[in-house]
Amino acid sequence: MHHKTRTSLCNGGLLALLAVFVVGLFALVWSGLPSPRLPGEPRTVAVAHGSLPPVTYTIRQSETRNAAKLQAAFDRIGFDLDAVSQGYISVPRVLLASLPPDLDRLDAMDSRRVLFLRTLLPVVLHVNDQIGVDRQKLLVIRARMTAGETLSADDVQWILSLSDAYDQPDDDVDALLKKVDVIPPSLALAQAIEESGWGTSRIAREQNAIFGQFGQGAAGDWDYRNFASLSEAVAAYARNLNTHRAYREFRQARARMRGAKGEIDSVELAGTLHRYSERGDDYVTTLRSIIRANALEAFDAARLNLRSVATILASN
């Protein structure tokens, strides 16, 4: 009798454990969490180049005016440069109007560098996206022309407008495609680092002239340009490389890379920018050193977050 009671208790306990397991399994499935991986089952990793953005929260304007607070805000929204460089997350659309004015007063040099890259990378990708839209449309039109199609009046007008924007004197679509192309993020970041001292120069913080851009004022005098936003400064930099006669070699090399490899090698392309600075070849050597020392090429595959709900427009 005593033995039967113990057996019944054991059976009851096992049934209870089994019930808990089943309930837990259903809860796991319905929660959306991944089920346990079976032995020998291949592991899958979801790479979030825009398709699976992390949860984001609003960055307050007050946080953008202080370097330490902005760093903490980037941490809060999960903007991790290592995760971006490894392709695990996309880049949040945080488009700051300017660098925090006290960036040069951050205690640790590493902190200044990380904050500078976090601030500028989304802006560079944003400008490249805008160029990419025009380039893709131009490629489609060229394919239609090659197929013998007659272009509509709207398409012809669009090509003429784009030619004006890129200082292309004729309607040669192939020549225009050499100009309407992106700047590798690693190269843009390296030049911004060199020209602005990691964003600590006065003209970078006060005038957004992060690429050391010069301009001619109304009185005819030359001085560093003032830009209303970082996006405007990056767009002007990209237009300079894409249109100025001094960088024809840059555009030709980029087009050759497109044709031969389908992608752009920023370290090799840097060799065409010896006319960007009076330092010539020494400037090229510096750019290549910056790209390699900071592993900037990893950001060339980075993509902006695609979900509009994750877009954060911060004006400081």
**pLDDT for 246-277, tens place per residue?**
999 999 999 999 999 888 999 999 999 999 99
What's the pLDDT at 49? 46
Could you give phi then psi for residue 16, rounded to 5 degrees? Answer: -65, -45
Instruction: Check residue 59 and report its DSSP letter.
Output: P
Q: How many CB atoms lie within 10 A of CB 307?
A: 14
For 155, phi and psi rounded to 5 degrees? Answer: -65, -45
A 10 A CB-CB count for 108 gives 8
Residue 64 to residues 122, 226, 254: CA-CA distances in angstroms? Answer: 15, 20, 35
Residue 87 has pLDDT above 50, yes or no: yes
| Contact present, 283 and 253 (Cβ < 8 Å) | no
Convert 153-182 to b/e letters by CB count within 10 Å (16 or more is b).
eebeebbeebbeebebeeeebeebbbbbbb
Please report the pLDDT score of residue 311 as a whole number: 57
pLDDT value at position 263?
Answer: 87
How many other C-beta atoms lie within 10 A of the C-beta of residue 312?
18
pLDDT of residue 223: 79
The C-alpha angle 280, 220, 99, rounded to 5 degrees, equals 60
Calculate what percentage of the chain has a pLDDT beyond 90.
66
- Distances 315 to 59, 64, 66, 262, 272 between C-alpha atoms, Å: 10, 8, 13, 36, 35
| CB-CB contact of 300 with 184 (8 Å) | yes
Q: What is the pTM of this model?
A: 0.80
CATH, range 61-310: 1.10.530.10
The pLDDT value recorded for residue 218 is 63
Is there a contact between 211 and 128 (Cβ–Cβ < 8 Å)? no
pLDDT of 28 > 60? The answer is no
Mean pLDDT, rounded, of the chain = 83
Q: Given a cut of 70, is residue 184 above it in pLDDT?
A: yes
CB 132 within 8 A of CB 238: no
Q: Please count the CA atoms within 13 angstroms of the CA of 316 that sit on its side-chain side.
A: 27
- Positive/negative CA dihedral, 279, 282, 286, 287: positive
The H-or-E segment that residue 256 falls in is helix 248-260
CB contact burial 33-67 (16+ within 10 A = b; e otherwise): eeeeeeeeeeeeeeebbbeebbebeebeeebbebb
Q: Three-state DSSP class for 36?
A: coil
Could you tell me which residue, 286 or 108, shows the higher pLDDT? 286
